[in-house]
Amino acid sequence: MKLILIFSALFGASLCLETFVGHQVLRIKTRNEEEVKQLQLLESLEHLELDFWINPSSAARPVDVRIPANNVQAVKAFLESHGIQYSILIEDLQVVLDKEKEDMAYSEQRERGSSSFNYGTYHSLDSIYAELDHLASEYSNIVSKLQIGQSYEKRPLYVLKFSTGGSNRPAIWMDAGIHSREWVTQASAIWIAKKIASDYGKDPSITSLLNKMDIFLLTVSNPDGYVFTHTTNRMWRKTRSKNAGSVCVGVDPNRNWDAGFGGPGASSNPCSDSYRGPSANSEVEVRSVVNFIKNHGNIRAFLTLHSYSQLLMYPYGYKCTEPADYAELDALGRAAASSIRSLYGTTFTVGSICTTIYQASGGSIDWSYDYGIKYSFAFELRDTGRYGFLLPASQIIPTAEETWLGLKKIMEHVRDNSY
């Protein structure tokens, strides 16, 4: 019976799901700037249809790239002719995707047999939204659900508010899943929501935090993209808005904020995965968060979850100068990384976006920091490339647990250091 269910789930999904048979993910190690330049040239060759999971930026950082089956040999020949070292991270992407789909189908069947939400598996948007309702009813003394807008395709943008009362208290903003294929972020966010709700009154740290401040959590920042990763293309990153004058769909919502908009590290090509959009805040998903934060007026921290690479970053990305609060943010980032490491030994690299990865304009934490929210951090969760965006579901809870320790360390600092 289990096999029939799994087969039907796979077959049903395969009718419209884009397949990645024979696609390989390579890890490329550059030794100098010249090799980085060669990879940037490769990146500009649109006919190869390369999907860079980690972009070429500096010789110190590996590059991960997904290559369609019919271009694998050409890319390998290019790398070998330039003496650039590479290894194969994923031999056949479809094999990994089939396993992920099979695990989800099996978990869904088991969940139907019980009434509880399984935090250790990946879920559809509907399933996540149902769990938000469940948390708001089970913990109604501190959790409520707000709708802060709707996506391009008219899906609601739901935020959980954790509050013990009072009006316009200082608050912490958290979001996940702005890039839709980063599934461990939405999954971690829903685990974290349950953790905050269930720990209030038990964990002295969370109790004192919520007695002083509110927390707002947007578990799925890009619902259209997230649904699309389930129904059509697992590797989709952008929104699903239509671009005037182009057949290519979607904007990179983390290049769309009004912070150095249109500068380096964002593309003006609508077909690019890092397309910035026609103007800052053109994406309703971004605009809804900006409006919520501006209308609230008392947000003290802005914390956003991405994957992958195990990084904890603060501004700036659109420029390579240190923020005014560099010393405090760096020390706090390191303390949070130490908390993360304390659980399973997972190591995070800490630094500004520009020095840690690359210059990238139009990002959310640059906007929040420039807007006056001092404690602005972006987390890149597990792993460092073995599975990349396709982190096995068995790692969701460990990832969420360690991430929570890092978030909590930052929140405690925000609680104790008002500005």
Structure tokens at 234: 């697992």
Give the helix ranges, DSSP H, for 283-395: 284-296, 326-344, 353-356, 364-370
Please, which residues have CB within 8 angstroms of residue 63's CB and are 6 or more apart in sequence? Answer: 27, 28, 29, 30, 39, 52, 54, 55, 56
Query: At which residue do the structure tokens 């789909």 appear?
Result: 101
- Select which of 100, 108, 131, 380 is catalytic: 380
The rounded radius of gyration (Å) of the Cα atoms in the chain is: 21
Pairing of strands 171-176, 299-307: parallel
**Nearest partner of 89 among 144, 136, 25, 147, judged by Cα:** 25
DSSP string, 34-63: HHHHHHHHHHH-GGG--EEEE----TTS-E
Provide the CA 4 distance to its chain's centre, in angstroms.
Answer: 33
Integer CA distances (angstroms), 417 to 91, 175, 332, 375, in order: 49, 22, 12, 10
Annotated active-site residue 111? The verdict is: no
Integer CA distances (angstroms), 251 to 15, 228, 233, 284, 377, in order: 26, 14, 16, 11, 22
Pairing of strands 51-54, 85-90: unpaired
How far is Cα 335 from Cα 314, in angstroms, rounded to an integer?
13
- Helix H or strand E segment including 216: strand 214-218
CB 151, CB 225: distance < 8 Å: no
Residues taking part in catalysis: 380
